[in-house]
Structure 1
Amino acid sequence: MSRDPVTCHVLNTLTGTPAANLPVTLTLLSAPTNPQGPVVYNATTDSDGRVKNWTPVGSTPSTVPAFLASLPAADSRTSWSISFKVGPWYESQGVECFWPEVEVKFYVKGRGREGEEGWRHYHVPVLLGPWNYSTYRGS
């Protein structure tokens, strides 16, 4: 299966391992056209702490690539949020955590060319600990 244009990777800095089985939500915050209803996707990190594909939630009508393809212009700018449900995740491992969730907001500019390798790719890596986190735009 190919990856979506927006992906993420989470590493647990407490143990130095990938953050596997972490619930993650991708939410559209703003777009040049107003979609009907919220645009929300869920995923759970894989054994390597990665999310490569998102599942539409509720009334979200399409996949991430299909949503980006529906934008009115190839250089349309959208605003997104990825929310990592870290509090319950750490607590399930018996670790006290300061953060109930960590949210990273970012822009996606354009949709690139349609096709598996043609999409612009936005990768959001997160280094996550129970008392700290950091992020940057990945490649």
Structure 2
Amino acid sequence: MVGKLTTHVLDTAHGCPGVGIAIALWKLNINANADSKLLLKSMVTNHDGRTDEPLLVGEELETGVYELVFTVDEYFAQYSDYPEPVFLDQIPIRFGISDRTTHYHVPLLVSPWSYSTYRGS
């Protein structure tokens, strides 16, 4: 089986997909001396709140620690009934990949005031 990493953004305040949300995928190097991170990809969610392709697939998917950063401030700023500045601007989700042959799905359920995630399928 070929492993892959996918994501999905759902706007729980409006009951719809999070369309046009910028996402950055980082690979983290965590060690005793210093932490560093490498930007792997940047993308924007489509009409379904997903990316058009998996974030990582096959040989791209390595074991290690990753971080997805969802930029939601511009998304919620489009609604005139939310104050400026919005409460949440960037949402980082740090997670580990331990099996390169598995599908890792990291959904984001978000409103202007809260968010949650889980390991989906």
TM-score between both structures, scaled by the size of structure 2: 0.78
Question: 1:83: Cα distance to partner?
Answer: 0.6
Consecutive unaligned residues in structure 2, runs of 5 or more: 31-36
Q: 1:54 and 1:44 mapped to 2: Cα distance? A: 12
Question: 1:66: Cα distance to partner?
Answer: 3.1
Q: Which residue of structure 2 aligns with residue 89 of structure 1?
A: 75
Structure 1 position 67 matched with structure 2 position 97: no
Structure 1 position 108 matched with structure 2 position 107: no
The CA deviation string for residues 51-83 of structure 1, in whole angstroms up to 9 with x for no partner, is 25267xxxxxxx653333xx5xxxxx3000011
Aligned partners of 2:4 and 2:54 also within 8 Å: no
Structure 1 position 79 matched with structure 2 position 69: no
Give me the CA root mean square deviation: 2.4
Using CA pairs under 8 Å that are at least 6 residues apart, name the structure with larger relative contact order, 1 or 2.
2
The one-letter amino acid of 1:121's match is H
Give the secondary-structure state (helix, strand or coil) at the position aligned to 1:38.
strand
The one-letter amino acid of 1:131's match is W
TM-score between both structures, scaled by the size of structure 1: 0.69
Question: 1:134: Cα distance to partner?
Answer: 0.7
Q: Which residue of structure 2 aligns with residue 26 of structure 1?
A: 25
**How many aligned positions are there?**
111
The one-letter amino acid of 1:93's match is Y
Consecutive unaligned residues in structure 1, runs of 5 or more: 32-36, 56-62, 72-76, 113-119
Q: Percent identity?
A: 32
Which among 102, 108, 117 is matched to residue 126 of structure 1? Answer: 108
Structure 1 position 50 matched with structure 2 position 50: yes
